[in-house]
Each structure stands twice: as C-alpha cells, then as structure tokens.
C-alpha cells in the first residue's frame, strides 16, 4: 500500500515519463495454480504434455501474466489518487512466460487527456511492458486509467 502523501493526481503525469518496478519470480507451481482455476489448458497445467503443444514447453496463461502485471503495477507503480481505475485496454499482446522467469514492468505515460467537459479529472494512457530476465516481452499493453485532478480533492 502506498501512503497518501505520495498520491498523484492528473496534473502530476506527463507524457514520456517512465516507471520501472522491481522484479518478481514466477514459479511453475503458481502458473499451474492460476491455470487450474481460470485457464485449464494442458499447456498451462501440465509441464509434461506441454512439450507436445504448439508452445513446445510449459507456458503460463496470458491472463496470469496480465494479473501479475496488475499486481506489480499496484505495488510499485506510481500511487494514483482514487486508485487504478481502468477504463480499458486497447492492445494486449503476449509472449511466453515460463516457470522460473523473473519479470518486471516498465510503464510509460503515452498521453494525458483532460476531461473535455472540464470536469476535474482526465485520462492517462499508459504503455505497460512486462519483461522477463531473459530479455523477452511477456506482455505488452496499452491501457487507460481515469485520474482525478487536484481540484477534485477539494
């Protein structure tokens, strides 16, 4: 959890700014646990038979990568007033994530768009890249969050 002192408002973001999170390790057990609940395809749940799949080895669900990216960004990305209120994602691309991979997220502010109605808020567009210690991209995402202006804080 972030302290309120460091909370960022819409005005505090500017295009081009980047943020880099620390690295976490993803285990094969975690990959299997997530997959059993949400994406129980054999190339996600069974390292043995995964070698015969199109991936050629055991890989995590892309939705697991997305969830882990959310957690890394929540824990270590810039603390945002009102929370990370996602408006949506415009692009989501995946590369393989394997057990034992260490991943971190690099976020870049692509654009900041004030409310057209003059309301005290705006949209911050972010590019979040989830990178492995192998130098590969496990996920690439363009997302938009709704951020209140300082004026909204009253």
Q: What does the binding site for a second copy look like in residue numbers (CB under 8 A)?
A: 34, 37-43, 53-54, 61-63, 66-68, 70-71, 74, 82-94, 146
Nearer to a second copy, 55 or 133 (CB): 55
Nearest to 19 by CA among 67, 89, 75: 75
Nearest to 69 by CA among 47, 50, 95: 95
**Least distance (Å) between residue 76 CB and a second copy:** 13
Please return the burial class of 150, using the count of CB atoms within 10 Å of its CB with bins 0-12, 13-18 and 19+.
middle
Q: Which two tokens stand for residue 49?
A: 């038979």
**Least distance (Å) between residue 117 CB and a second copy:** 16
**Least distance (Å) between residue 41 CB and a second copy:** 5
Nearer to a second copy, 16 or 121 (CB): 121
**Least distance (Å) between residue 54 CB and a second copy:** 6
Nearer to a second copy, 16 or 99 (CB): 99
Counting every residue written for the chain, the total comes to 154
Half-sphere exposure of residue 92: CA atoms within 13 angstroms, side-chain side:
12
């Amino acid at each position: 959890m972030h302290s309120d002192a460091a909370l960022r408002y819409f005005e505090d973001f500017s295009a081009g700014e980047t943020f880099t999170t620390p690295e976490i390790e993803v285990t094969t057990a975690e990959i299997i646990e997530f997959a059993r609940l949400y994406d129980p395809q054999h190339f996600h749940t069974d390292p043995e038979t995964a070698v015969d799949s199109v991936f050629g080895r055991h890989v995590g669900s892309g939705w697991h990568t997305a969830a882990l990216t959310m957690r890394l960004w929540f824990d270590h990305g810039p603390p945002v007033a009102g929370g990370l209120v996602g408006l949506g994602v415009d692009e989501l691309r995946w590369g393989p994530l394997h057990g034992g991979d260490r991943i971190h997220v690099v976020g870049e502010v692509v654009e900041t768009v004030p409310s057209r109605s003059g309301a005290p808020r705006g949209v911050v567009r972010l590019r979040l890249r989830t990178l492995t210690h192998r130098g590969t991209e496990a996920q690439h995402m363009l997302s938009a969050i709704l951020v209140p202006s300082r004026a909204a804080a009253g």
